[in-house]
Amino acid sequence: MATQDVAQIADPAERARAINALIDEHTEAINALSGLRRIAIEEMLATGMTQLQIADQLGMSRSRVSQLLMGGAKAERAFLGAGKLTVAMGAKLEDGRSDPGAVVSAQAFAAFQSIADLARSLGLDAVSETVPPPGLVDLNRPNLFVLTNPRLLPFLAQVMGADPALRYDHDDRGWYITDRQTGAEYRSPRDEGENRDFGYLGRLPRPDGKGTFLYAAGLHAQGTLGAAEYLVANIGELYKTLKTKRFSLVVSCTFDPSTPERVLSTERVTEIYRHEGA
Q: Please tell me the predicted confidence (pLDDT) of residue 7.
A: 84
More confident residue, 39 or 174: 174
Give residue 96's pLDDT.
61
Q: What share of the chain is helix, strand, coil (3-state, %, to 5)?
A: 40, 25, 35
Pick from 29, 53, 72: which residue ends a domain? 72
Cα 108 to chain centroid distance, Å, stands at 13
pLDDT for the residue 135: 92
pLDDT tens digits, one per residue of 206-255: 999 999 999 999 999 999 999 999 999 999 899 989 999 999 999 999 99
Q: Are residues 190 and 123 in the same domain?
A: yes
Of 76-80, 120-124, 149-153, 231-235, minimum mean pLDDT range: 120-124
Task: Indicate the helix (H) or strand (E) that contains 129.
Answer: strand 126-131
Q: What is the mean pLDDT of residues 137-151?
A: 95
Q: In the predicted model, is pLDDT for residue 44 greater than 70?
A: yes
**Domains identified in the chain, total number:** 2
Are 187 and 138 found together in one domain?
yes
The answer on 252 and 226 residing in a single domain is yes
User: Which of 56, 72, 88 is at the close of a domain?
Assistant: 72
Q: What is the enclosing helix (H) or strand (E) of 36? A: helix 12-46
- At residue 246, the 3 state secondary structure works out as coil
Q: Please indicate, yes or no, whether residues 137 and 175 belong to a single structural domain of this protein.
A: yes
Question: Looking at the structure, do residues 164 and 211 belong to the same domain, yes or no?
Answer: yes
In this structure, the answer to whether residues 60 and 168 fall within a common structural domain is no
Angle between helices 51-58 and 12-46 (to 10 degrees): 130
Distances (CA, A) of 206 to 7, 32, 44, 117, 177: 39, 20, 29, 25, 21
| Local confidence band at 278 (pLDDT 50, 70, 90 cut-offs) | low
Taking a C-beta distance cutoff of 8 angstroms, is the pair 155, 162 a contact?
no
Highest mean pLDDT among 41-45, 124-128, 214-218, 234-238: 214-218
**Domain boundary pick from 21, 53, 72:** 72
**Are residue 13 and residue 84 in the same domain, yes or no?**
no
Residue percentage of the chain with pLDDT more than 70: 94
- The domain that holds 178 is classified in CATH as 3.30.379.10
Q: Which domain holds residue 13?
A: 3-72
β pairing state of 185-187 and 196-205: unpaired
Residues 181 and 261 in one domain: yes
Q: Which of 31-40, 67-76, 149-158, 224-233 has the lowest mean pLDDT?
A: 67-76
Same domain for 60 and 85, yes or no, is no
Q: Which of 2-6, 11-15, 70-74 has the lowest mean pLDDT?
A: 70-74
Res 276: pLDDT: 79
Rounded Cα distance between 107 and 277, Å, is 34
Considering the domain architecture, whether residues 117 and 223 belong to the same structural domain is answered as yes
Instruction: Judge if 179 and 102 occupy the same domain.
Output: yes
Same domain for 67 and 112: no
Beta carbons within 10 angstroms of residue 187's beta carbon? 16
Q: Of 18-22, 81-85, 97-101, 272-276, which range is least confident? A: 97-101
Give the DSSP letter string of 182-240: T--EEE-GGGGT-SEEEEEEEEEE-TTSS-EEEEEEESSHHHHHHHHHHHHHHHHHHHH
The residue type at 23: I
Q: Say which residue, 223 or 22, is predicted with more confidence.
A: 223
Using pLDDT thresholds of 50, 70 and 90, give the confidence band for residue 98: low
pLDDT, position 245: 94
